[in-house]
Amino acid sequence: MTLLSTRGLSKHFAGLRAVEAVDFDLPEGEVRALIGPNGAGKTTFVGMLCGRIAPSEGRVTFDGRDITGLPAHRRIGLGMAYTFQITSIFTGLPVRENVALAARRAGQGGDAVERALGRVGLADRIDQEAGDLSYGHQRLLEIAMGLVQAPRLLILDEPAQGLADSEIADFKALIRDLAGEATVLLIEHNMNVVMELADRVTVLNFGAVLAEGTPQEIHENPAVQAAYLGTG
């Protein structure tokens, strides 16, 4: 079953075609990676999926429902959770309260807070002020804030950025663990993470889909090599 899809999704900024007529299908239960060069339109595309950017044309469908006109908070209520490329935590609040706020927004109870923090390896920092965490730990806190909402779709924007090697290993284990309970869309530059975790990969270039396939197919694709992987 397709959980999320777009048809003809486009966004133009004062003549700049940031995203152009993207058709995209994400089956339920899949881990999908979205990659592409800087400026390829990834952030704009994801912004339209999440309801933070209004499309110029096209539509977005979630679980069979047209959500193109829904604001971001309504999409969260339907089961979408999105973590930002730049951390969006409340730095002046304790770790626990950051996750509790996200839990309340999604109607989840207090038990879910500790479970989410345990899954990302921050259970021992539950009372620490979020602003005192390292950048990598702030990224993990943001993932916990997504997890606690028990989303059907978890969209992670550059989650491995700022993580130490040991934290990346733990992150990979977390995503493998999540794969059975949520659909994951991963926007990521770390190709080792992409190749190890993704069931399929979608490549954007100049705002359009350049290629789509398994990690191995994408790695061997000459057009992707030339545009992104730097080996063409």
If you average pLDDT over residues 191-216, what whole number do you get?
95
| Alpha helices, H only, the chain | 42-50, 72-78, 95-105, 110-119, 135-147, 165-178, 191-197, 215-220, 222-224
Structure tokens at 100: 């509790």
* Strand arrangement of the beta sheet that strand 57-62 belongs to: 16-27, 2-13, 57-62, 65-66
Contact 183, 26 (CB under 8 A): yes
Considering its fold, how many domains does the chain have in total?
1
Give 125-160 pLDDT, tens digit per residue.
999 999 999 888 898 899 899 899 889 999 998 888
Domain presence at residue 20: yes
Please count the CA atoms within 13 angstroms of the CA of 18 that sit on its side-chain side: 19
> 210 by DSSP, 3-state: which?
strand
Domain presence at residue 95: no
Q: Which domain holds residue 54?
A: 1-79+153-159+190-232
CA distance 228 to 106: 37
Per the prediction, the chain carries an average pLDDT of: 90
Percent of the chain residues past pLDDT 90, beyond the cut: 63
Percent of the chain residues past pLDDT 70, beyond the cut: 96
Q: Cβ contacts of residue 60 below 8 Å, gap of 6+? A: 4, 5, 6, 9, 48, 49, 66, 67, 68
Contact 161, 134 (CB under 8 A): no
Give 61-92 pLDDT, tens digit per residue.
999 999 999 998 899 889 999 886 555 789 99
Query: Among candidates 197, 199, 131, 133, which has minimal Cα distance to 170?
Result: 197
CA 159 to chain centre: 8
Give 212-228 pLDDT, tens digit per residue.
999 999 999 999 988 87
Domain presence at residue 37: yes
Domain presence at residue 221: yes
Domain presence at residue 132: no
CATH assignment at residue 33:
3.40.50.300
If you average pLDDT over residues 176-185, what whole number do you get?
88
Residue 88: per-residue pLDDT: 76
CA distance 199 to 16: 32
Structure tokens at 129: 């002020």
Bin 223: left if φ > 0, else alpha if -120 < ψ < 50, else beta: alpha
What is the DSSP secondary structure assignment for residue 13, as one 8-state letter?
E
Structure tokens at 42: 């990834």
Q: Which of 34-43, 106-115, 197-206 has the highest mean pLDDT?
A: 197-206
Domain presence at residue 129: no
What is the reported pTM? 0.89
> 138 by DSSP, 3-state: which?
helix
